[in-house]
Structure 1
Amino acid sequence: MTADAPQLRPRGRSATATDVVGILEPARYPLVSVAVAVIAVVVITGVGFLLGTVDLGLSKALNTLHTGALGAFTDAVYHVISPAPAIGITVVVVAVIWWRSRDLRPALAFGGTIAITWVPSAVVKEIVHRARPDVAVLPHPFAVQPDPGYPSGHTVYITAFVIALVWLLRDSRWHRTVLVAGTAAIVVVFFAVSIDAVHYPTDAAASILWSLAVAPGVRVVWVDWLMPRIPFLRKPVGGRAVRS
């Protein structure tokens, strides 16, 4: 770490394993993170124009699994992290972070990192305009989705959510558990959208790469550069001290 993490504990309270400060720690190489994010956006967008139906056969093969209990499960996963529920989940977690840390900064750092990583992917989706797998050739098609499919917003969201949560709990005893469980959640969403065939597998894979590459740059811009310029976010709410 290049600097001590901000002190989020009320004075007089000893450090505990549940203190959440990791997402506020300044990046070691901020310009590199931002440059990687910009390059990733350009490259992932460009690749989207070249994919066509290259993995339609794999989509059809995975869609054969969309039956019975597995099909019901993948449908549920898709609905649970659709945009409206995903926004609701994020708002609830942001509120819990604020309540738990008694500091608005980690809460807004968490929510902002997710939102600013996630929302631009919807713009790229409209630019690339890659069609979703053709329901006419799928053995067990899902309901027709009206918007293009590349990248997968569901997969961008869950990956960004996991990344932000791992950063948030980086200095806690829950870090390893969240990392393992979060990785499993990303894999589950990848296969859920692929088995439902609402996305090509390459849509979902590109989405994971998007969040992995873009989120660190987003965190630098939002948390390290912009948040300190907002007066009420310059120090913890309530006037608690910040170590330097």
Structure 2
Amino acid sequence: MTDPEFRRRRRTADVVGILEPNPRPLTTVLVAVVAVLVLTVVGFFLGAVDLGLAKAFNTVHVGALGAFTTAVYHVISPVPAIALTFVVAGIIWWRARDLRPALGFGMTIAITWLPSAVVKEIVHRARPDVALLPHPFPVQPDPSYPSGHTVYITAFVIALVWVVRETRWHRLAQVLGVVAIVVVFLSVSIDAVHFPTDAAASILWALAVSPAARVVWVDWITPRIPFLRPREGAAVPVSPGR
């Protein structure tokens, strides 16, 4: 999309934040593709390079802190995470009275999150050896890199921040979102279900891929779906909570 066309669309509709068109979609997608390739290649060379750090994190998996980090791990496991995404998407639909931002939110998360599971199988990095950990977590059956939990929470935060970008909740969402990402990073590291490098790479993955996921769904796919295409000249609902 050319810059004049981008500005015209931005001026003519006060849109929910996540629906704002990206002025440089091809660059955004290219950055995501390069990031995925680089992070995938890096994964093959990590091995157990940070096993010592994983063991150090795991030493504090005791008492209330250990119970908390384990609870965090379970709360955003795939089934609860999918349920949470549906609930929040439903709230967005209800508040905005428009299905498009709700789908934009959910699909941005999905398109960011699901490919990480494919890379996990390709790289097939083993999880930290439970025999070497002071407080081992039950053995997880899937590979370690990247951390799906960390990809999910980072994509969730990014998508939600976009949804509320034009509202008074934007700053609060940013602050609480950063806290949530840090909590999940520390939780999967303290549980030692992932190496710290798994979680760090997952944050980078979501930061790079989420903008491209939003472009693919909101800018490219949504306008081609008849029931999601806004009527010519119709008002676009503003963000809730102004």
TM-score (norm 2): 0.92
Q: Partners of 1:177 and 1:38 in 2: how far apart?
A: 31
Gaps of 5+ in 2: 1-5, 238-242
One-letter code of the match for 1:4? Answer: R
Shift of 1:104: 0.3
Q: Partners of 2:224 and 2:48 in 1: how far apart?
A: 46
Report what 1:97 is aligned to.
92
Report what 1:4 is aligned to.
11
Q: Partners of 1:5 and 1:120 in 2: how far apart?
A: 35
Q: Partners of 2:194 and 2:178 in 1: how far apart?
A: 20
Q: Partners of 2:87 and 2:37 in 1: how far apart?
A: 32
Report what 1:107 is aligned to.
102
Identity of aligned residues (%): 73
Q: Partners of 2:63 and 2:100 in 1: how far apart?
A: 44
Matches within 5 A, 1:93-242: 93-235=88-230, 240-242=234-236
1:43-95 deviation per Cα after TM superposition (whole angstroms, max 9, x unaligned):
00000000000000000000000000000000000000000000000000111
CA contact (8 A) 1:155 1:207 kept: yes
One-letter code of the match for 1:124? Answer: V
Shift of 1:6: 3.8
Q: Partners of 1:242 and 1:67 in 2: how far apart?
A: 51
For the structure 1 residues 34 and 141, does the alpha-carbon distance in structure 2 shift closer, same or farther, using more than 3 Å as the test? same
Q: Partners of 2:164 and 2:110 in 1: how far apart?
A: 19
Shift of 1:235: 1.4
One-letter code of the match for 2:42? Answer: V
Candidates 48, 73, 86, aligned match of 2:68 = 73
Q: Partners of 2:234 and 2:96 in 1: how far apart?
A: 11
Gaps of 5+ in 1: 9-20
1:110-158 deviation per Cα after TM superposition (whole angstroms, max 9, x unaligned):
0000001000000000000000000000000001000001000000000
Q: Partners of 2:12 and 2:196 in 1: how far apart?
A: 39
Q: Partners of 1:6 and 1:95 in 2: how far apart?
A: 23
Report what 1:88 is aligned to.
83
One-letter code of the match for 1:198? Answer: V
For the structure 1 residues 5 and 138, does the alpha-carbon distance in structure 2 shift closer, same or farther, using more than 3 Å as the test? farther
Shift of 1:31: 1.0
Q: Partners of 2:64 and 2:148 in 1: how far apart?
A: 24
Q: Partners of 1:208 and 1:5 in 2: how far apart?
A: 35
Report what 2:3 is aligned to.
none
SS in structure 2 at match of 1:224? helix
SS in structure 1 at match of 2:11? coil
Q: Give me the CA root mean square deviation.
A: 1.5
CA contact (8 A) 1:5 1:24 kept: no
